[in-house]
Amino acid sequence: MKRLTGWLTRPFNNLRLREKLFVMFLLGAIIPLLFFVLYSYQTIKSELSDQMYTNSVSSVAQINSNLENKLDSYTKLSATLYLNTTLRAYLTNNYSVEPSLFVDAYQYINNTFSNMLTTNPDIQSISIYINNDSLPADGIYIKRMDQSFRNSVIYRSLLNSYGNVRFVSTPPAADQPSMFTLTRMLNISNLDNAYGILTINILESDIYRLMEKETSEKTVLIANERGIIMSAKDKSMLNRPLEQYVKDDFPSSSQGRFDSTFNGEKMLVVYNTTKFGWKSVSLVPYSSFLSKANNTAKRILIYALISFGVMALLIYVTARLFTKRVEYLVGMIRRIEREEFDLVDIRPLGRDEIGQLGNVLRKMAQRLSNLISDVYKKEIDKREAEMNVLQAQINPHFLYNTLASISSLAIRNSDQRMNKMVTDLAKFYRISLNKGKNQISIHEEVQLTRYYVAIQQVRFADLIRVHYQIDESVLPCPIVKLTLQPFVENAMNHAIWDDKLGINIMIKAYREGPDILLKIIDDGMGMRMQGELGSELPTSGDTLSGYGIRNVDNRIKLLYGDSYGISIYSRLGIGTTVTIRIPGK
């Protein structure tokens, strides 16, 4: 994960500060702006959808109410004829005995039906189909219930109706206006045996007027309980299944909404069901009301783009003004890095944080210049001169040649002690010189000390007893050359107080946390401490054999830092412990 994050952020990290600021400010401006545009569009879309749904529900409910009232009026009209006993008597009378009586019957029928048609102009026609062969049929108001009628949809719809009203979609006829039929079985005295079938043909235009005002931006349909379209603006849809146009099935609830497609366009479908089982269906294309949201979103986007352009310009100018001063300070810092203090002249950059940084940098450059000139360079030169003098005290070629000559003379004279002493001395200087390097490993430093002790034991014999406790893990670590030897030499030359008992010296090396500690412990005469290292110390340990305690401490601090160096603890008559702390790298 970290690797992936690094790979993604690496190009951004490599950008200049001006470009980073511009990108970040730009993102900080464009993301809220895009979020605002998207939120505004979604909010407007949701509000318009809810508003359109509310309007459609109200519209469909109103159409349903009007439709129920209209169908109730037709039902009541049919009930008038259904309950008319006079009409029943004329329709069931046997006219074969007195044929002249049918004239009275037709006079009553004609007057009754003509009055109904006059008072209900939306009714196209009224007819009664009868089984009474004694009553002549005029083909207009009275018709025969022949076999073709019994096979019709109207007749089949009355099965198990028991005198209740049925509304039937009438197949379209040539040169006839669109209509549907109310049919009812006339069986008031005998539910199982009808004396006639009442049909009332109603103009579809009368139903369409109920929803005509609602069809400007939407498609409103009325379908019967079998899903057949009874009324619509597009008359080609009449008497066709609603599922032919609305692909999704209607939910089982009597009213509700769902999304569908109509003529290849996404629609919001809102429906409601009357008590007769008819459905008022409103098909609202989303494009009709979302176009307003789209237009509003476009205007918001245009304003947002203009605002974004202005913001981008302001952000760029601000980032340029900001980074220009930062780049100027970076140039001054690079001059300070190259120690070109004569060229560092930082002009005032204002009173903000960058201006304050410029003032601080100018003062720091002046102090740094003085420090380097007065202290740093002089101190470095002094320490380098000291180290060069210390390292140049011995001519390696002259020393090796002289020691080789002494060794040859010792062998000729069969003096093995002298030969061993010269050999150890040669090994000592071979390690100590180390081709002019200032650092050697702790292993080499210990070996160098062993050679020195071996040389000194020729002189002191058993008076000097040196013991080693070395942690092998520290042997490869580097150390300043000639660190241990000066303190061993100091113990041999100044700590022996009894020429018969001699001295014990313990050399330890081990780790303590991240550091390495080396200790030189002797049980010699000790010394009276006058101060800590770095202040006043006994003059007997100041310089020994060309190397002093302060010299070793200064070299360690110069190489590793002030937190490292030498500390000494000594008590008169008990002994001395020298502790050397170096980093454990």
Whole-model pTM over 0.75? no
**Neighbouring residues of 326: CB distance < 8 A, sequence distance ≥ 6:** 17, 354
One-letter identity of residue 299: R
Cα distances (Å, whole numbers) of residue 541 to 28, 187, 422, 481, 504: 69, 143, 27, 19, 18
Alpha-carbon Rg for the chain in angstroms: 59
- Residue 344's pLDDT is 64
Q: Is residue 296 packed enough to be buried (19+ CB in 10 Å), middle (13-18) or exposed (0-12)?
A: middle
Task: Give the CATH fold of the 49-288 domain.
Answer: Beta-Lactamase (3.30.450)
Run means of pLDDT, 10 residues per run, the chain, 585 residues: 56 61 70 77 77 81 85 89 89 83 88 90 89 87 89 84 80 72 81 81 82 75 83 81 78 80 81 84 79 74 79 76 73 73 65 71 73 66 57 48 59 65 67 67 89 80 88 91 87 80 91 93 80 41 49 86 90 90 88
Angle, CA 63 vertex, CA 61 and CA 66 arms, to 5° = 110
Angle, CA 552 vertex, CA 549 and CA 554 arms, to 5° = 105
- Residue 157's pLDDT is 83
The pair of three-digit structure tokens given for residue 544, joined into one six-digit string? 């020994």
Phi, psi of 411 (to 5 degrees): -70, -40
pLDDT digits (tens, 9 = 90+) for 420-437: 666 766 666 666 665 556
- Residue 533's pLDDT is 45
For 437-583, CATH number out of 3.20.20.70, 3.40.50.720, 3.40.50.620, 3.30.565.10 equals: 3.30.565.10
Q: Is residue 382 packed enough to be buried (19+ CB in 10 Å), middle (13-18) or exposed (0-12)?
A: exposed
- Residue 517's pLDDT is 95
Half-sphere exposure for 200 (CA within 13 Å, toward CB): 27
- Residue 357's pLDDT is 74
Tokens 């010189």 belong to 433
- Residue 518's pLDDT is 94
- Residue 543's pLDDT is 35
The pair of three-digit structure tokens given for residue 389, joined into one six-digit string? 């003098």
CB-based contact 319:313 (threshold 8 Å) = no
Angle, CA 314 vertex, CA 310 and CA 316 arms, to 5° = 115
CB crowding 163-199: b at 16 or more within 10 Å, else e = bebbbbbbeeeeeeebbbbbbbbbbeeeeeebbbbbb
CB-based contact 446:470 (threshold 8 Å) = yes
